[in-house]
Structure 1
Amino acid sequence: MSKETVFFYHTNDLHSQLSQWPKIVHYLETKKVLHEDRNEDVLFFDLGDHADRVHAITEATSGQGNIELLNASPVNYVTIGNNEGITFSKDSLDHLYDQAKFDVIVANLFNENHVRPSWCVPSRIHTLQSGTTIGMLGLTAAFYPFYTELGWVIEDPIVTLERELPVLKQQCDVVVLLSHLGYFMDERIAADYDIDVILGAHTHHRLDPAIEVEGTLIAQTGKLGTDLGKITLQIDQRQVTAKEGTLQSIDAVAESSLATEAVLERLQQSADASFREGVAVLNRPLDISWTEPSTFASFLVEYLRQWCNTEISMMHSGIILASLREGAVTKGDLHRICPIQSILVSLK
């Protein structure tokens, strides 16, 4: 068969807006059945920042709940975003994908000894029914100081791309970049490198339709699961002859995956139980002010100074949303007043 059509469906930057996930999964499952019934090739992707510790399930499970939800979907391939990469400890990230039923593709992350983590691969090749091969390379944003302090080595994505792309192109017919680099970096890569499709993320651009730059199709779905992306590739003699990308509004999806809703409910109940656990007892209130010096801010910056072994420490008081009363403090209290960053270490 010389002519064929392949379909990609992709999500990015869900940021643990997990209430959207049952509808997303229902839509993906419906499309999977549709294309398989038609004997068409279809692949499903997530481009990172699926996990965000702002959600109780993600915080309580160190992201494992997100992996369970991804496992319950048709997703085949993912790359990591900065939320997976630098908001979890090294040990947590090293075990985040232990139970994953999908492939994690990221080429520019290494252990301190420059050995690639066992839970990811730099690239993957998927063979369609016709024999046409789809080569996928994953790259994530290089937040150098954070990755270094966590015990990782993050490589310049362009350096990685120039090393890995020529090797991949020799092995496959169609090249897809799984990018958590942001739209502006995707534009640069599209202009300078021979890539068929860039499935993008990170900067929360909503591209409908997907944008073509120097022959490369760039797609991105925005953020928080409001939209889902669809790519259609026309292939003739193992060469891409036409490509387009559109978005599907999740608000317009009428049904949800009941199985996913059940998993979500179970994970929420477990998170609620975990958040009832006590972590400290305060003998005085810790008050926060966003405009004046306050006991809570002073308490945190002093512990931050000791923890980091510095002479001076600073924090933005706005990250603390409320004061803490005298008495028992639970994990849930800490997450409620500071959902974007755990302060458990300081209170201990």
Structure 2
Amino acid sequence: MKEKIYLYHTNDLHSHFENWSRIRDYILSRKRHHQKKGEPVFVFDIGDHADRSHPLTEGSKGRENVRLLNEVGYDAVTIGNNEGITFPYEDLNHLYDEAEFEVVVANLFTKEGSRPDWVIPTLIKKTTKGTKIGIVGVTAEYGALYDRLGWHVTSAKDELKAQVRVLKEQADIILFLSHLGIREDEWVAEECPDIDVIMGGHTHHVLELGKIHNKSLLAAAGKYGMYIGKIELEFDHETKRITDKTASLVNTESLPPSSNEMREIMQWHEEGKKLLSGVVTNLDQSLDHHPLAPTHLAKMLSSAIVEWCGADCGMITGGLLLDELPAGPVTVYDLHRILPHPINPCAVELSGSELKEVLRQSQNQEWPTTVVKGLGFRGTILGTFVYEGIESRANQFFVNDEPVETDKTYTVATVDMFTFGFFFPAMQRAKKQYFMPEFLRDILKEKIKRLEPDFSKNSIQSTDK
């Protein structure tokens, strides 16, 4: 006897709810179709469903994302880095309180070494014909960042191998929910041949018809809900083996619009805006901004980061700010609107020679208009560099009016995206401290609350001494 098993999967939605209505309607319709025919069907999410760049996710602390997953009836999810290292400890610890599905993450632990009570390392689902499907999940290892937030992540590969050894004795089919990325998934396929299907995410790769690597079927559905993954398995009960496995993608743009699609999209945004409606301060004058100029608002953010990090100097870019702040009441939503990035401040220790290297690189005239994707950045272009306590005069760099000394150590406040090596290799190598869970909008919020009511556009005045 042969049995057809159907799997549907999503990954890296990043709270792009503009595609969610169609995803929900499609998966629910397919579930009804399969259930009516008596066919087993399971639905999984592979992480980064929640992204705090959307006001609804921010305002609900991710709880609305969980509610949306509940509505579809997901069977299991794993977490991505956007769930794992952008929410404060307590928010992540309670993110899944109302979940009607299992959260499968084998390599996440508390600082004390125990698994959180909302996490399980593996899960076994059984079809009506008795086929046992073992499910294991792991998430990407950002050890230093998890540690800063009070969690501990272990080696994804080691945990995976250990759990697969156990599942091999318990299950007929093994599925892997992988928020590791395509290269790691290929490694897993080579090192863990007992895994039948790897549903992947993290690197936003698209596998239109899946890919057989070694003995495993790799499947992935890109990002932002542009695709829904579909996998068909044929299991032979006599031989206890999978006799066929295929993967395909459904383009959500090709699906019929939901009946209330535009209204739902607007409603999700407005609900988030309402949740973030608390007033932070009132501005007597607007704070103008342009990404290609060192505006007052950008200088204020740079100054705030230096103060927060207790640094000697600082550097950011104008492109981090997406808009101005008009005169009048400033709400939490306004700060989220202009700084939606899940980006943390960071203090980097550089020698004078390293600082000079970084500053010379930052003067690359092509960088301000460079379009940036990833690294936590949710804007468009990098923008011009804006410095605090740093000047360049007569081909010489100064920090707080003193010439930069080659062998002296300087603490530079900046943003975490500049420490990942893409822009400044010296910052990637350097000793650094990430300030978490605060985002840039949290830092600016504290700064702007202290502004004197009669500040001028030409100088930053605050109650800081």
Q: TM-score range, shorter-chain basis?
A: over 0.9
292 and 22 in structure 1: CA distance in 2 versus 1, 3 angstrom threshold:
closer
Give the Cα separation in 1 of the matches to 2:90 and 2:259: 32
Give the Cα separation in 2 of the matches to 1:285 and 1:255: 40
* Unpaired runs of at least 5, structure 2: 343-438, 447-465
Higher RCO (C-alpha under 8 Å, 6+ residues apart) = 1
User: Which SS does the other structure have where 2:170 is aligned?
Assistant: coil
Shift of 1:302: 3.5
1:197 counterpart residue number? 197
Match of 1:254 among 242, 253, 256: 256
Residues paired across the two proteins, number: 346
Q: C-alpha deviations, 1:116-145, integer Å up to 9, x for none?
A: 111111110111112111110011111222
Whether the 8 Å contact between 1:24 and 1:256 is mirrored in structure 2 is: no
2:444 counterpart residue number? 346
Q: C-alpha deviations, 1:199-250, integer Å up to 9, x for none?
A: 0111111111000000100000111111111101111133211100001111
Shift of 1:280: 2.1
Give the Cα separation in 1 of the matches to 2:82 and 2:119: 16
311 and 165 in structure 1: CA distance in 2 versus 1, 3 angstrom threshold:
farther
Whether the 8 Å contact between 1:65 and 1:267 is mirrored in structure 2 is: no
1:280 counterpart residue number? 281
Shift of 1:56: 1.5
2:36 counterpart residue number? 37
2:230 counterpart residue number? 230
310 and 157 in structure 1: CA distance in 2 versus 1, 3 angstrom threshold:
farther
Give the Cα separation in 2 of the matches to 1:163 and 1:73: 31
269 and 321 in structure 1: CA distance in 2 versus 1, 3 angstrom threshold:
closer
Whether the 8 Å contact between 2:304 and 2:443 is mirrored in structure 1 is: no
2:104 counterpart residue number? 105
Question: Identity across aligned pairs (percent)?
Answer: 39
2:77 counterpart residue number? 78
CA RMSD across the alignment: 2.1
Shift of 1:83: 0.9
Give the Cα separation in 1 of the matches to 2:168 and 2:9: 22
Structure showing greater Rg:
2
1:65 counterpart residue number? 64
150 and 23 in structure 1: CA distance in 2 versus 1, 3 angstrom threshold:
same
Shift of 1:255: 4.6
TM-score with structure 1 length normalisation? Answer: 0.92
Give the Cα separation in 1 of the matches to 2:284 and 2:155: 48
TM-score with structure 2 length normalisation? Answer: 0.70
Give the Cα separation in 1 of the matches to 2:277 and 2:71: 27
Give the Cα separation in 1 of the matches to 2:102 and 2:263: 24
Shift of 1:262: 8.1
Shift of 1:39: 0.9
Whether the 8 Å contact between 2:225 and 2:252 is mirrored in structure 1 is: yes
112 and 313 in structure 1: CA distance in 2 versus 1, 3 angstrom threshold:
farther
User: Which SS does the other structure have where 1:232 is aligned?
Assistant: strand
1:245 counterpart residue number? 247
User: Which SS does the other structure have where 2:235 is aligned?
Assistant: strand
Give the Cα separation in 2 of the matches to 1:63 and 1:142: 21
261 and 163 in structure 1: CA distance in 2 versus 1, 3 angstrom threshold:
farther
Whether the 8 Å contact between 1:14 and 1:225 is mirrored in structure 2 is: yes
Give the Cα separation in 2 of the matches to 1:60 and 1:223: 22
Aligned pairs for 1:88-167 (under 5 A) are 88-167=87-166
Whether the 8 Å contact between 1:77 and 1:104 is mirrored in structure 2 is: yes
2:105 maps to amino acid: V
Worse overlay, 270-279 or 244-253 = 270-279
1:5 counterpart residue number? 4
2:445 maps to amino acid: L
344 and 200 in structure 1: CA distance in 2 versus 1, 3 angstrom threshold:
same
Whether the 8 Å contact between 2:204 and 2:223 is mirrored in structure 1 is: yes
Give the Cα separation in 2 of the matches to 1:31 and 1:198: 21
Whether the 8 Å contact between 2:60 and 2:275 is mirrored in structure 1 is: no
Give the Cα separation in 2 of the matches to 1:153 and 1:54: 25
* Unpaired runs of at least 5, structure 1: none
